[in-house]
């Protein structure tokens, strides 16, 4: 109301001393120097780039905190409906550049650091990525301006090293080592979380039970400020750290068993110590289930107003445990009747499904759940009982259906089907793009569509933030766009559909020239990066062909590397004269493999060893180079993406739920070579079929091809003589000991689940179409312009607005200046 009573002390003294944002160069410099002197206890004499980065970051943080305070105060006053975004992964990348952009203080800060004797570009390089995620899933979470809840892993995704033999080695990522200026420990926000123990039903006519005993740990909140773009509005990402309860395990302590007490304190801290580095499978591990419950429990414990029963929640990553946890709180702690509790719960959660691979759907062994979370198992059983009664009522006597839909899968051991629980416990089930949602509805959740009706299942196509994935990573292109639109970036970066207005400029030769020159400079920037980090020399006159994503058989880096070998063999077959007519190409890979995913690591090894031979072959190296860039990260992607002419998104049709790097490449004017899968399809619709290169079997055909591969197998020689030749040179040792690759080659010779041989000729043909198209430089640039300028739909702003308006029912809150 503005007329509230001042809460404490002398209002005048407070108001006179409250700080305002520092937004001019002198104020910023004062603030930075202040942090150098006090927060860092250093001086101009002993300040290095790291120290200067820290001081600059702390001063930016001051500004964020002030905005954050105003935002949170406004939320408290207005009590708007809020959404909470639950994700076990937030793959943030670096924060400083993004904060400066969003605060619109980039210029001022670099002027100030200049004056203090530091180059802002160098300072930005000092920051360690916050890599608390495996891939696109965790990045999506990072793109959301609503309250987020996650875990504060002490170690993010592992650092990837490549041994001399080409083996992936994993080293820990101690990203918090140099302090993290972007977080605030909230010592006032701590909750107890219980594990193990026993659950005893009260049997007093209520569904209540008492859960007691076991181990208790403390969840400690750290808040990370997430600035909105060109607005005061600054949201919060709350990351939980586990720590031992104070006066830990007093029993063992008093019994003189000091060591046991300390051990249990270690096990408490272990819960948030490391991000599981698996993409698509992490079930069965007790610690992972502990992480999941720890985080949903801490997050559900917010009892401050409005009461928890009014909280609309949205959940992305396997946070399915939040469903039985909310039921437990309502039933056991709040004494809410079961049916009411279930109604609240199913109106609270929204579930977004991110995978179409059946093997990636989370399942937990019943005995593990029984041991770790006995009360939750009871609740899951009860939910299942009521649910199956309802199914039986609708489909009487259909026992097979009951078995298919049960939350408990029979077997040894029995397993809990978490995706089914998420489905029935949520108000809506969303998919990350149109086709993946269709796939989910016709396969893994088919029975549920029949039971609950199709209306519950919808899709919101994923998006990416144009702030990081255009303005920050490609500042020259951003500047050209602003100039050509004659509109400041503050406007079009928040309304990406405006890019469409640039389409006519594809016909403007001067504009094309500028566009192409920027691409060329981005290629040189990448070459420079590779030179300084790896000491390798890259031909920047070649076409840059990039595939960067997690290494997985379904994503088919294998198809790409086999295609590269095919190109190499073709070049070797040519005369020197013929070769001169060939368009030079540089192929880049970057990918982390899950540490236990042996075939994936073997594929990395093959790529590295092929690169070694190709790059040293004097006959071909001017026409074909190959690089595997180690330690793929958000920051590396920011250098690679703007430099690509073509990027590959070539998953077997029907396997990639969406993909988001495809959107990033296209937004930067890189063309797309891909299968008819995931978000590629919607990208094709937006940019027009003539600007993308599609190939391969379509989703509806894949099942039949797989069936034939098993029951009517044909040799690779028959399916694709070209591929057969490639496999034979690998196995004969052209790239070192052929024997080691046999297990990988056999996945293609037998079964070929991912259709490598079936798609190979079509893939080679698509590569040829890319080559041919590249010969016409002007037409290629036109395609590049058309691609970037039709990417409006893939802004994360559009995706989030869709969620907010159509599902979460949220309205924006204005933060007064």
Catalytic residues: 354, 549-550, 555, 660, 664
Told to check if 548 binds ligand B1H by CB under 6 A, we report no
Q: Specify the stretch interacting with ligand B1H by CB under 6 A; choose among 278-286, 602-610, 765-773, 802-810.
A: 278-286
* Position among 281, 370, 414, 762 found at the interface with ligand B1H (CB under 6 A): 281
Q: C-beta of 651: minimal distance to ligand B1H in Å?
A: 8
Told to check if 659 binds ligand B1H by CB under 6 A, we report yes
Cβ neighbours of residue 392 closer than 8 Å, sequence gap 6 or more: 398, 402
Residue window 229-268: x/- pattern of binding to ligand B1H, with contact defined by CB under 6 A: ----------------------------------------
| Among 526, 521, 744, 548, CA closest to 630 | 548
Residue window 677-696: x/- pattern of binding to ligand B1H, with contact defined by CB under 6 A: -x------------------
Asked if 155 and 128 touch (Cβ cutoff 8 Å), the reply is no
Told to check if 225 binds ligand B1H by CB under 6 A, we report no
* Position among 429, 657, 683, 748 found at the interface with ligand B1H (CB under 6 A): 657
Told to check if 282 binds ligand B1H by CB under 6 A, we report yes
Q: Which is nearer to ligand B1H, 366 or 464 (CB)?
A: 464
Residue window 563-602: x/- pattern of binding to ligand B1H, with contact defined by CB under 6 A: ----------------------------------------
Q: Specify the stretch interacting with ligand B1H by CB under 6 A; choose among 245-253, 273-281, 483-491, 687-695.
A: 273-281
Told to check if 156 binds ligand B1H by CB under 6 A, we report no
Number of residues that bind ligand B1H (CB under 6 A): 22
Question: What does the DSSP 8-state code read for residue 315?
Answer: E
Told to check if 150 binds ligand B1H by CB under 6 A, we report no
Told to check if 719 binds ligand B1H by CB under 6 A, we report no
Told to check if 790 binds ligand B1H by CB under 6 A, we report no
Query: Binders of ligand B1H among 288-307, rule CB under 6 A?
Result: none
Q: Which is nearer to ligand B1H, 655 or 709 (CB)?
A: 655
Write a three-state SS string for 561-629: HHHHHHHHHHHHHCCHHHHHCCCCEEEEEECCCCCCCHHHHHHHHHHHHHHHHHHCCCCCCCCEEEEEC
Q: C-beta of 398: minimal distance to ligand B1H in Å?
A: 31
Q: Which is nearer to ligand B1H, 620 or 661 (CB)?
A: 661
Cβ neighbours of residue 167 closer than 8 Å, sequence gap 6 or more: 601, 604, 605
Query: Binders of ligand B1H among 405-444, rule CB under 6 A?
Result: 432
| Among 401, 425, 189, CA closest to 318 | 425
| Among 545, 562, 548, CA closest to 763 | 562
The full length of the chain comes to 817
Q: Which is nearer to ligand B1H, 284 or 488 (CB)?
A: 284
| Among 699, 691, 717, 730, CA closest to 563 | 730
Told to check if 660 binds ligand B1H by CB under 6 A, we report yes
CA distance 175 to 720: 47
* Position among 31, 63, 235, 355 found at the interface with ligand B1H (CB under 6 A): 355
Told to check if 280 binds ligand B1H by CB under 6 A, we report yes
Told to check if 553 binds ligand B1H by CB under 6 A, we report no
Q: C-beta of 679: minimal distance to ligand B1H in Å?
A: 7
Tokens encoding 673: 């070579």
Q: Which is nearer to ligand B1H, 235 or 461 (CB)?
A: 461
Peptide bond just before 196 cis, omega within 30 deg: no
Asked if 461 and 352 touch (Cβ cutoff 8 Å), the reply is no
Query: Binders of ligand B1H among 83-142, rule CB under 6 A?
Result: 134-137, 140
Q: C-beta of 555: minimal distance to ligand B1H in Å?
A: 9
Query: Binders of ligand B1H among 12-41, rule CB under 6 A?
Result: none
Q: What backbone torsions phi and psi does residue 624 show, to the nearest 5 degrees?
A: -150, 120
CA distance 270 to 287: 8
Asked if 398 and 447 touch (Cβ cutoff 8 Å), the reply is no
| Among 149, 148, 109, 142, CA closest to 25 | 109
* Position among 308, 329, 360, 673 found at the interface with ligand B1H (CB under 6 A): 360
Q: Which is nearer to ligand B1H, 54 or 296 (CB)?
A: 296
CA distance 516 to 670: 11
Distances (CA, A) of 391 to 324, 397, 417: 20, 10, 17
For 127-160, b/e burial (b = at least 16 CB within 10 A) is: bbbbbbbbbbbbbbbbbbbbbbbbbbbbbbbbbb
Q: Which is nearer to ligand B1H, 311 or 364 (CB)?
A: 364
Residue window 452-471: x/- pattern of binding to ligand B1H, with contact defined by CB under 6 A: ----------x---------
Q: Specify the stretch interacting with ligand B1H by CB under 6 A; choose among 118-126, 153-161, 653-661, 697-705.
A: 653-661
* Position among 39, 178, 269, 278 found at the interface with ligand B1H (CB under 6 A): 278
Tokens encoding 704: 């039949």
Told to check if 741 binds ligand B1H by CB under 6 A, we report no
Q: Specify the stretch interacting with ligand B1H by CB under 6 A; choose among 276-284, 304-312, 516-524, 633-641.
A: 276-284
Distances (CA, A) of 63 to 20, 57, 99, 104, 183: 8, 10, 10, 12, 13
Q: C-beta of 141: minimal distance to ligand B1H in Å?
A: 9
Q: Specify the stretch interacting with ligand B1H by CB under 6 A; choose among 19-27, 172-180, 186-194, 354-362.
A: 354-362
Q: C-beta of 365: minimal distance to ligand B1H in Å?
A: 16
Asked if 581 and 621 touch (Cβ cutoff 8 Å), the reply is no
Q: Which is nearer to ligand B1H, 654 or 736 (CB)?
A: 654
Q: Which is nearer to ligand B1H, 59 or 462 (CB)?
A: 462
CA distance 754 to 750: 11
| Among 751, 761, 764, 754, CA closest to 718 | 761
Q: Specify the stretch interacting with ligand B1H by CB under 6 A; choose among 177-185, 254-262, 652-660, 758-766.
A: 652-660
Q: Which is nearer to ligand B1H, 363 or 521 (CB)?
A: 363
| Among 528, 726, 776, CA closest to 642 | 528
Distances (CA, A) of 371 to 121, 212, 214, 217, 288: 52, 13, 10, 16, 14
Chain contacts with ligand B1H (rule: CB under 6 A):
134-137, 140, 276, 278-282, 354-355, 360, 432, 462, 656-660, 678
């Amino acid at each position: 109301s503005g007329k509230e009573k001042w809460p404490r002390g002398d209002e005048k003294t407070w108001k006179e001393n409250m700080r305002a944002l520092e937004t001019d160069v002198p104020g910023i410099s004062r603030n930075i120097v202040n942090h150098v002197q006090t927060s860092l206890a250093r001086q101009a004499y002993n300040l290095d780039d790291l120290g200067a980065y820290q001081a600059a970051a702390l001063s930016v943080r001051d500004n964020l905190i002030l905005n954050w305070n105003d935002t949170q105060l406004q939320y408290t006053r207005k009590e708007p409906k809020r959404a909470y975004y639950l994700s076990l992964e937030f793959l943030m990348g670096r924060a400083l550049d993004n904060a400066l952009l969003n605060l619109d203080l980039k210029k001022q800060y670099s002027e100030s650091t200049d004056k203090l004797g530091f180059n802002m570009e160098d300072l930005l390089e000092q920051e360690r990525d916050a890599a608390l995620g495996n891939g696109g899933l965790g990045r999506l979470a990072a793109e959301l301006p609503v309250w987020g809840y996650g875990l504060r892993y002490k170690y993010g995704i592992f650092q990837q090293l490549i041994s001399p033999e080409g083996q992936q080695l994993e080293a820990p990522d101690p990203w918090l080592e140099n302090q993290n200026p972007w977080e605030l420990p909230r010592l006032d926000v701590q909750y107890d979380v219980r594990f193990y123990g026993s659950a005893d039903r009260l049997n007093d006519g209520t569904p209540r039970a008492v859960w007691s005993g076991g181990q208790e740990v403390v969840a400690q909140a750290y808040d990370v400020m997430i600035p909105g773009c060109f607005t005061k509005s600054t949201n919060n990402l709350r990351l939980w750290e586990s720590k031992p309860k104070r006066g830990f395990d007093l029993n063992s302590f008093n019994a003189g068993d000091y060591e046991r007490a300390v051990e249990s304190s270690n096990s408490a801290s272990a819960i948030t110590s490391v991000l599981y580095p698996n993409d698509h499978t992490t079930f069965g591990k007790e610690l992972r289930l502990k992480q999941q419950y720890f985080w949903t429990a801490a997050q559900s414990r917010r009892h401050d107003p409005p009461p928890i029963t009014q909280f609309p929640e949205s959940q992305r990553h396997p946070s399915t445990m939040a469903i039985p946890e909310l039921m437990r709180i309502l039933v056991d702690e709040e004494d809410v009747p079961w049916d009411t509790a279930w109604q609240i719960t199913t109106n609270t959660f929204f579930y977004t499904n991110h995978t179409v691979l059946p093997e990636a759907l989370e399942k937990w062994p019943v005995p593990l759940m029984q041991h770790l979370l006995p009360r939750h198992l009871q609740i899951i059983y009860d939910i299942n009982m009521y649910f199956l009664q309802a199914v039986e009522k609708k489909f009487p006597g259909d026992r097979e259906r009951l078995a298919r839909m049960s939350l408990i899968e029979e077997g040894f051991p029995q397993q809990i089907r978490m995706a089914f629980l998420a489905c029935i416990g949520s108000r809506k089930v969303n998919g990350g793009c149109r086709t993946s949602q269709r796939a989910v509805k016709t396969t893994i959740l088919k029975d549920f569509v029949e039971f609950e009706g199709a209306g519950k299942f919808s899709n919101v196509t994923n998006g990416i933030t144009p702030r990081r994935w255009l303005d920050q990573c490609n500042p020259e292109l951003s500047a050209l766009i602003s100039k050509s639109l004659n509109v400041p970036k503050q406007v079009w970066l928040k309304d990406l559909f405006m890019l469409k207005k640039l389409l006519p400029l594809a016909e403007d030769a001067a504009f094309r020239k500028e566009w192409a020159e920027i691409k060329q400079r981005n290629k040189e920037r990448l070459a420079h990066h590779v030179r300084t980090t790896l000491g390798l020399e890259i031909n920047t006159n070649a076409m840059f062909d990039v595939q960067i994503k997690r290494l997985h058989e379904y994503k088919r880096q294998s198809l790409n590397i086999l295609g590269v070998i095919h190109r190499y063999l073709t070049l070797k077959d040519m005369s020197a004269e013929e070769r001169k007519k060939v368009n030079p190409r540089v192929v880049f890979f970057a990918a982390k493999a899950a540490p236990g995913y042996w075939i994936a690591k073997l594929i990395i090894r093959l790529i590295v060893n092929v690169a070694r031979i190709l790059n040293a072959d004097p006959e071909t190296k001017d026409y074909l180079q190959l690089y595997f860039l180690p330690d793929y990260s958000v920051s590396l992607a920011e250098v690679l993406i703007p430099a690509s002419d073509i990027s590959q998104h070539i998953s077997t049709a029907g396997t990639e739920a969406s993909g988001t790097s495809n959107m990033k490449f296209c937004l930067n004017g890189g063309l797309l070579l891909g299968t008819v899968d995931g978000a590629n399809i919607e990208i094709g619709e937006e940019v027009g079929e003539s600007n993308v290169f599609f190939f391969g079997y379509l989703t509806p055909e894949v099942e039949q091809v797989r069936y034939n591969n098993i029951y009517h197998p044909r040799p690779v020689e028959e399916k694709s003589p070209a591929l057969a030749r490639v496999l034979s040179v690998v196995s004969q040792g052209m790239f070192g000991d052929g024997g080691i690759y046999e297990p990988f080659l056999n996945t293609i010779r037998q079964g070929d689940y991912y259709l490598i041989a079936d798609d190979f000729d079509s893939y080679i043909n698509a590569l040829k179409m890319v080559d041919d198209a590249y010969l016409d430089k002007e037409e290629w640039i036109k395609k590049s312009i058309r691609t970037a300028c039709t990417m409006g739909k893939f802004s994360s702003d559009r995706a989030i607005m869709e969620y907010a308006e159509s599902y979460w029912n949220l309205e924006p809150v204005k933060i007064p200046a």
